[in-house]
Amino acid sequence: MIESYNLCAQMQCCHVGTSVVGIVAGLHVGFTLVFPSPKFNPKSSIEAIIQERCSAVFGTPAMYVDLVAKLKVVDKEGKMVPMGSPGELWARGYTVMLGYWGDEAKTRETITADGWLKTGDQVILLESGHCKVVGRLKEAIIRGSDNVFPKEIEEFFLSHPDVVDAQAFGVSDARWGEEMCLYIRPKDGSSLTEEHMKTFCKGKVAEFRIPRYVRFLDDFPRNMTGKVDKKILKEQFLQDKEYKEVNEQILRKTYGRYARPSYWFETGSEPLSPLTFGQLIEWAAEEYADREALVSVYEDLRLTFKEAKEKVPYCVRQADHLAAGFLALGLNPGNVIAVWGFNSTNFYLIILAAARAGLILAKVDPSYQAPELRHCLNQVGAKLLIAAETDITQNYYQTIHSLAPELDHCAAGQLCSEQLPELRTVVMTRDLTQPGAYRLDEIISLATTEGIAKVQEIQRSIQPDDGITIHYTSGTTGSQKAALHSHCNVVNGSYTFCGRQGLSKSHRVCVQMQCCHIGTGIGAVVASLHLGFTLVFPSPRFDPNSSIKAIIQERLPGYGMTEGLGFFASVPEDSMELTFTTVGKAVPYLELKVVDKEGKMVPMGSPGELWVRGYIVMLGYWGDEAKTRETITAKGWLKTGDQVILLESGHCKVVGRLKEAIIRGGDNLFPSEIEELFCQHPDVIDVQAFGVPDPRWGEEMCLYIRQRDGANLTEEAMKAYCQGKVAEFRIPRYVRFLDDFPKNTTGKIDKKKLKEQFLKDKAFKEFNKNAF
């Protein structure tokens, strides 16, 4: 609508359609509202349209669908039906109410935990985004824009002295969408008529609540339990001659089953994809066929999207064999498996296979040590762990064995471990056979024709809102939390983020982050399936020399996936100033706001905490409802903890951290975690950790220690103390010692003063000077 429009409003102002969409939208756009009559009257509307030259008519049953941004049509189990098939309409987006005032139970019944409003409408959604209402799942009758409830009318008619029983229900109507039909059992000897019953309503109920059709029966049909069977009553009425003549223009068109699921989101230049990760894999195998999907330079291996090279035993399509192997082990869709290792063709294949099998893949950082691995596996109840054999810094099997020595005495797939109670199967990716463990090629060999057919069948039952991957993040308490992401998060987040970078199938992308990071595991791997570009692994871990070699050998344009999947991304038209002073422009389909300490929005350009809402937000922390509620508000806003300034252009400047988290490269380090570790040392009295600037990693950790009298601790000894207890990136870069810590007026240790003191440290200043 534009300001030159005159809009004929036919709905009452008490309806949301007129009071919100009509009046408020008029203030936005500047069009004119025209009220043709106090109540809806077709003749008055026609006269007003001619007289005022109205450009549009407002107030039809179809208007409801136009108000909602995100829609899906589902079956009784809440799973999407094919486009063009009937089902219940669910809606999600900014137009959905906050809830029913004072009725939390009814709110939860009507709005799902992930924000979907169950409308109760039985509809057919068309490819064009238009919607046909074909029935009601609930008993409410929708007459035009009004709700009429059978129970209310039945109770009213039972107050009539000559009525024994009354049954009301809705029937299709060519004009109003639905009208009410009322069946009455009159008392013996009474002579009630349809006109008499309608007259009885006058002045007692609103006109739109008066039944359109009134019929009489001596008795009502009943089901096996003795209850009145409204279904039979309705079937009987639909054969009514008068009704059929009035509604002969209503024609039911039968819609075929479409390949694309019933999903629509009309924001931006194109809708969000309804594909699951597994469906995207199959599409990419057909779309990009013989294009290279992955080049692992250090392994000297190349994979295409569809066909394998002679020296490669698998390709994207053959991920189904590994998926079938997973199912042959007894795993079922929705089970959690974990992968622990570095970037490799095996890791790539596992990501795809887990998705095809309908499993949830938990990605454990390859630098984690035994205590961290145990926490990660137990937190999500992982049933299977796939691990690399060895790395430069550690032997993965030995670490697993230290937690599960029972491997020495069990058959593969039958682990019963005291420290890892849920874990049943360990799989190693190398050719060596380890006690109690499978080799990865053994799992692939378990695939059968029937198993692969089952993998294909599973694709039809997986829903975009189902969980697909778990990435571990830390909280201010230090322990890793398991962030669960859905297919919708993964498929659409990767596409919108990397699409912003201008990537296409002509690109070759040098991947330098580990696949356990969201930037690689989702942003690169999944986006490449969308866009057809080639991923290049230069080395198992980040190594500058290997990256340079790969860039030269593979003729890469120098684009590196060095940031995780995020809410902002630079765009080609950004100026140099915006590129270097902001984290980019907000990606499509996301709501963003910057708030003060009370959660109220601050003026544009003012600092505050960034809150985000939309498809890219995780489903929650696995097994930690309390932390999920602490991080994501009841209205779906994710509290990022970042202190930012949002610009008019949609770009964002990060000006600080509300939380104490230290951001080292792509990893979060939390002072409390390290402080607790060092407090366990017998010669340490107190310890304080904080972040300091670093030219390479952005931030590094500095640790101040108060040691016991007579102790002779050194920086080297403290760093050695960390080995094998925490990941390498969690070991403090700087360790300093003080006899006492500065305190503020309340007696608490003043970290700000400690940091100011360290920033004058000679070694720190010289290191940073040389680096720059």
First to last CA, the chain: 55
Inter-axis angle of helices 345-356 and 277-287, to 10 degrees?
Answer: 120
Q: Give, in degrees to the nearest 5, the angle at Cα 274 between 272 and 275.
A: 120
Give the pLDDT band (50/70/90) at residue 654.
Answer: confident
Rounded CA gap, 491 and 429, in Å? 27
Nearest residue to 459 (alpha-carbon basis) of 276, 330, 334: 276
Q: What element of type H or E holds 121?
A: strand 117-125
Q: What residue has token string 């209503």?
A: 250
253 has a pLDDT exceeding 60 = no
Q: How many CB atoms lie within 10 A of CB 704?
A: 23
Give Cα separations from 98 to 106, 616, 633, 634, 644 (angstroms).
12, 20, 12, 9, 27
For residue 560, what pLDDT is reported? 36
Rounded CA gap, 541 and 361, in Å? 21
For residue 147, what pLDDT is reported? 67
Q: Report the pLDDT averaged over residues 152-168.
A: 91
Write down the pTM of the prediction: 0.61
Indicate if 662-771 has the same CATH topology as 141-220: yes
Give the pLDDT band (50/70/90) at residue 531.
Answer: confident
Rounded CA gap, 347 and 521, in Å? 9
For 301-310, 398-407, 461-470, 624-633, which range has the lowest pLDDT when averaged over its residues?
301-310
For residue 138, what pLDDT is reported? 60
307 has a pLDDT exceeding 90 = no
Give the pLDDT band (50/70/90) at residue 663.
Answer: confident
Give Cα separations from 154 to 16, 164, 199, 326, 352 (angstroms).
27, 11, 16, 57, 57
Write out the DSSP string of 676-734: HHHHTSTTEEEEEEEEEEETTTEEEEEEEEEEPTT----HHHHHHHHTTTS-GGGS-SE
Give Cα separations from 770 to 163, 388, 543, 702 (angstroms).
96, 37, 21, 19
Encoding tokens for residue 351? 């990501």
pLDDT tens digits, 555-593: 765 433 322 246 777 676 777 777 777 778 787 778 888
Nearest residue to 189 (alpha-carbon basis) of 212, 213, 218, 210: 218
User: Which CATH superfamily is 277-553 part of?
Assistant: ANL, N-terminal domain (3.40.50.12780)
Write out the DSSP string of 28-50: HH-PEEE---SS--HHHHHHHHH
Give the pLDDT band (50/70/90) at residue 60.
Answer: very low
Q: How many CB atoms lie within 10 A of CB 571?
A: 16
35 has a pLDDT exceeding 60 = yes
Could you please state the CATH topology (level 3) that the domain comprising 662-771 is classified under. GMP Synthetase; Chain A, domain 3 (3.30.300)
Give the pLDDT band (50/70/90) at residue 364.
Answer: very high
Give the pLDDT band (50/70/90) at residue 254.
Answer: very low
Rounded CA gap, 316 and 319, in Å? 6
Q: What residue has token string 């490819």?
A: 127
Rounded CA gap, 305 and 323, in Å? 17
Q: List strand residue ranges (DSSP E) for 579-713, in order.
A: 585-586, 590-595, 607-614, 620-621, 638-646, 652-657, 662-664, 667-669, 684-694, 698-707
Q: HEC profile for 281-294?
A: HHHHHHHCCCCEEE
For 220-224, 229-233, 242-246, 501-505, which range has the lowest pLDDT when averaged over its residues?
501-505
Tell me which architecture the domain covering 141-220 has in CATH.
2-Layer Sandwich (3.30)
| Beta carbons of 383 and 426 less than 8 angstroms apart | no
For residue 310, what pLDDT is reported? 30
Encoding tokens for residue 693? 């600037």
Phi, psi for residue 468 in degrees, rounded to 5: -135, -35
How far is C-alpha 504 from the geometric centre of its chain's CA atoms? Answer: 25
Give Cα separations from 144 to 8, 64, 130, 210, 536 (angstroms).
16, 10, 17, 14, 58
Tell me which architecture the domain covering 572-655 has in CATH.
Roll (2.30)
Give Cα separations from 214 to 169, 185, 197, 239, 733 (angstroms).
11, 11, 8, 14, 83
For residue 3, what pLDDT is reported? 59
pLDDT tens digits, 73-105: 988 888 888 888 878 888 887 667 777 777 788
* pLDDT above 90: percentage of residues in the chain: 28
Note the residue count of the chain.
772
Question: CA-based Rg of the chain, rounded to a whole angstrom?
Answer: 32
Highest mean pLDDT (candidates 393-397, 497-501, 550-554): 393-397
Q: Where in the chain are the domains?
A: 6-59, 141-220, 277-553, 572-655, 662-771
For residue 434, what pLDDT is reported? 92
135 has a pLDDT exceeding 50 = yes
Partnered with residue 699 across adjacent β-strands are 693
How many Cα atoms within 13 Å fall on the side-chain side of residue 548?
A: 3
